[in-house]
Amino acid sequence: MSGHSKWANIKHKKAKTDAQKGKVFTKLGRELIVAARAGGGEPENNFRLKIAIDNAKAANMPNDNIKRAIQKGAGGVDGVAYEELRYEGYGPGGAAVMADILTDNRNRTAGEMRHIFSKNGGNLGETGSVNWMFNEKGQITVPLEDFELSEDEFMLMALEAGAEDIDNDGENYLVYTASEDLDGVHQALLGQKVPVAEAIVNQIAQNTVEIADLEQAKKMIRLMDALEEHDDVQGVYANFELADSLSDEDLE
């Protein structure tokens, strides 16, 4: 989420713990299964699968795990049918929130989503209640650590590769593209030896809501954490921005 530097920093610290818990591999595996089931097991003919494989490799998911997930999806075995859903609502301070879901039990997930929103100061809304506030974009994450190019040099490279814009959240460059251009820009950056950590289709907020109240900010962070930690959630999007007056120590 562009502009959410404080939240981005909190997420980066938490992501390392999530990886250790194995949550990342579980969610990547589900995406591989669904992508292969929807478009076949050949990545050259399945853009979604190609991106899923790239992200799995970037997260150091073992090749055998990747192959098994693709075979499971393409072969339609295992009797598990995942359904793709999107839940929309509002968080503390009126921030718009969306969660993309892969579930094998719609009723269970609906109840759990409703509980997560209400427990953390939010309200689950109707389908279409907030998605109009977001634009679908390709997003490529490039870690700043040990990156040799200056921001101006990297922006020029990214724009020449077909990107629309780049942002700096303090720990990564975020490269934004039209969703249909994501793979082309991704491959061009890889060809220039750029260390890409992730390439995804993201939902980018058109405008942001600033949260300056500490208690609302803490509730918003708890809501985002609870959604992202849920096993069925593949992606969470929101349009909040934490005010500069809130210190990192107070938010943790």
Output the CA torsion 251→136→196→44 (10° steps): 150
Phi and psi angles of residue 95, each rounded to the nearest 5 degrees, phi first: -70, 140
Q: What residue spans define the domains of the chain?
A: 5-75, 83-132+206-251, 134-205
pLDDT band for 58, please (50, 70, 90 cuts). confident
pLDDT in tens, 160-190: 999 999 998 888 899 999 999 999 999 999 9
- Which residue in this structure is represented by tokens 């907020």? 205
Homologous superfamily of domain range 83-132+206-251: YebC, transcriptional regulation domain (3.30.70.980)
Chosen CATH of 134-205 out of 3.40.50.2020, 3.30.70.980, 3.40.120.10, 3.40.50.150: 3.30.70.980
pLDDT band for 77, please (50, 70, 90 cuts). low
pLDDT for res 74: 83
Choice between 178 and 38, residue whose per-residue pLDDT is larger: 178
Distance of CA 54 to the CA centre of its chain: 14
pLDDT for res 1: 39
Residue 76 has pLDDT above 90, yes or no: no
Residue 15 has pLDDT above 70, yes or no: no
Residue 136 has pLDDT above 90, yes or no: yes
Of the candidates 79, 82, 74, the one whose C-alpha atom is nearest the C-alpha of residue 53 is: 74
Homologous superfamily of domain range 5-75: Integrase, N-terminal zinc-binding domain (1.10.10.200)
pLDDT in tens, 204-240: 999 999 999 999 999 999 999 999 889 899 889 999 9
Task: Give 59-62's long-range contacts (Cβ < 8 A, gap of 24+).
Answer: 59/19, 59/24, 59/25, 59/28, 59/198, 61/24, 61/25, 61/28, 61/29
Residue 142 has pLDDT above 80, yes or no: yes
